[in-house]
Amino acid sequence: MAALANTKLTTTSVGNREELSDVVNRITPEDTPVYTAIGTDSCVSVHPEWEIDELAPPEDNHHPEGDEYGFDGVDSPQRVGNYTQIMRKSFIISNTQETVDEAGRIQKTKRQKLKKGIEIKKDVEYGILANKPSVAGADRQSAGMAAWIESNANRGSGGANGGFDVNSGLVVAATNGTQRAFTQAIMDDVMSQGYTAGANYSMVSVSPYVKSVFVSFMSNADVAPFRYSVSDGNRNSIISNADIYEGPYGKVMIKPNRVQVDYTSAGGQNLSRNALFVDPDMAEWLWLRKIQEDRDVAKTGDAKKTVIIGEGTLKVANEAGLGVAADIFGMSATT
């Protein structure tokens, strides 16, 4: 017999402690592969600057016996810089909510601090990858890798490099071109340019879809076969994956990056359209203020206000140590 009308059932209730785990799983991933690879340091100003010095190209260096010395000029290094940007997350929780016994405890201050700190770390990864220019002033912005690159790039039709502008002292964003499929030829071209420029790529950061396209490269008849089966005695697995590409110009790890999905619908950048080639020695994230809680937020009511804040910038020691396969389909075969 059915329950009477308006009877509250457990099947429609939320928060019954006997049905919930006190450990709430966060679906949003926390991994930040490029930020982890390049490492961090500190800076002491909102506009850290550094110098780029390059070796002269090889030449036929021979001189006659007894020749009088001639002296070459000393080239001045290029002075470049970036601006820090302030990143913050905030929340407010009533003192009553902080006190009550909540299932899962996800709406407690301590848990929210951890969550917001992780979100800022992912925002740093976003800022490192993005094709956004540097901006000076109070509302300043750090330029991302995709904007710095001007030496080692393979772009779609109509695309153009950005890079550091010596006149303005700012990094200019690259111009997007026509999107096209990611191919092994494009990959080899960027690695060739990087090798010639002196880069030592060790990783390529790509969207999850582009990683699946990379795996399809291994179906090429000129590539060593890699599909094989594995058995543990009870179950069989078919392995059809590849993580490392060893081509004519070196070996790189292909890293799928969950941050490189299409955020354009939220007013952000389409990070999926660029595959970024990284020499970790050529970039690092500089913290002016590490991620921390602002403990000076004034209490003005019966609630706890919390602000998590950090400030930093991307340092690109030499943009020739980076590369980009730009304007590729990053979400599907056509987008």
- CA proximity to 329, closest of 209, 203, 176, 186: 209
Q: Which CATH class is domain 30-47+77-221+237-325?
A: alpha beta
User: Is the pLDDT assigned to residue 53 strictly greater than 90?
Assistant: no
The radius of gyration computed from the CA coordinates of the chain, to the nearest angstrom, equals: 26
List the single range of 5-19, 33-47, 253-267 with lowest mean pLDDT.
Answer: 5-19
Where are the domains positioned within the chain? 30-47+77-221+237-325
Q: What angle do CA 233, 236, 238 make, to 5 degrees?
A: 145
Tokens of 69: 């010395």
Q: What pLDDT, on the 0 to 100 scale, is given for residue 268?
A: 76
Which residue carries 């999926």 as its tokens? 272
The pair phi, psi for residue 9, each rounded to 5°, is -105, 155
Report pLDDT digits (tens) over 155-185: 999 999 999 999 999 999 999 999 999 999 9
Residue % of the chain over a pLDDT of 90: 59
Q: Which residue has the higher pLDDT, 275 or 74?
A: 275
Q: What pLDDT, on the 0 to 100 scale, is given for residue 14?
A: 54
Mean pLDDT over the full length of the chain:
86
Most confident among 14-23, 65-74, 247-256 (mean pLDDT)? 247-256
List the single range of 14-28, 59-73, 211-225, 310-324 with lowest mean pLDDT.
Answer: 14-28
Q: Model pTM?
A: 0.85
Report pLDDT digits (tens) over 286-320: 999 999 889 899 988 899 899 989 999 999 999 99
List the single range of 24-28, 82-86, 207-211, 216-220 with lowest mean pLDDT.
Answer: 24-28
- CA proximity to 257, closest of 27, 22, 2, 29: 29
Angle between helix 208-217 and helix 184-197 axes, rounded to 10 deg: 100
Q: What pLDDT, on the 0 to 100 scale, is given for residue 198?
A: 93
Report pLDDT digits (tens) over 100-125: 765 555 567 888 888 888 888 999 99
Exposure of 138 by Cβ count < 10 A (0-12 exposed, 13-18 middle, 19+ buried)? exposed
Mean pLDDT across 70-95: 90
Per DSSP bridges, beta strands 85-94 and 303-316 are antiparallel
